[in-house]
Structure 1
């Protein structure tokens, strides 16, 4: 009976050794896998730093472009205001020309009879002068 106990202890010890060996192999494989994951994460971190740098540069350029567009827009607003002023001036000038034309037309209509009489008198005087010369 005692031999059985020794055999059982020996089997338990062998099983424990086998378990420890497989555990060691598994831990070694896990260590290798974790090292690979670590290297992959380091590479990923470097790539993320590069992306962050490029994103920062892109944002800076975008802000500069937005500022440039705002400045040019402000300059164009001044140009449009100037063009509006020129349009208003031309409108006022056209209105003045219309008033002047209307005034001339009215004056001409009012003095038409006087001009007609003056032309008749002038013609009559010229006829008399020509008759006297002959």
Structure 2
């Protein structure tokens, strides 16, 4: 039975030795993995510093751009208000012109007969004027003709 005990102790010792070697290999593998992870984390940390710097610069630029856009929007609001005022002024002018047109139309309708009479008298006056003008021209031509005849008669008398 002692032999069994020695054999058991030897098997336990071999098993323990195998366990120690396996744990040692596992720990070395874990140590290698942890070293790799530590290197990767150092690289990530450096990249994060760069990203943080770029993000901060981008945030400052974004804020400056937002301020610029705000100022331009305020300036544009002033222009829009001015255009709105011009539109209202033009609308007021159009309303005034419509009012004047209505008044003129009403007065023309009210004085339509008078306007018709004025037009008739104007036409009659123009017709009379044309007749007087044509008579003056006719008389002028007759006078010229008579003067020529007299000159011819005078020239015949002296010859």
TM-score range, shorter chain: 0.5 to 0.7
**What residue number does 1:75 align with?**
75
RMSD: 3.9
TM-score normalised to structure 2 length: 0.55
- Could you list the runs of 5+ residues in structure 2 that have no partner in the other structure? 133-159
CA–CA distance in structure 2, aligned partners of residues 42 and 86 of structure 1? 65
In 1, Cα distance between the equivalents of 2:51 and 2:37? 21
Deviations 1:26-74 (A, max 9, x none): 1111111111112112222322333333333333322222221121111
Which structure ranks higher in relative contact order (CA pairs < 8 Å, sequence separation ≥ 6)? 2
Tell me, yes or no, if structure 1 residue 7 matches structure 2 residue 7: yes
Q: TM-score, normalised by structure 1?
A: 0.63
Q: If you compute each CA radius of gyration, which structure gives the higher value, 1 or 2?
A: 2
Deviation at 1:95, TM superposition (A): 4.6
Output the CA distance in 2 between the equivalents of 1:5 and 1:104.
136
- 2 CA distance for matches of 1:91 and 1:9? 113
Say if 2:17 is the partner of 1:41.
no
In structure 1, list runs of 5 or more residues that go unmatched. none
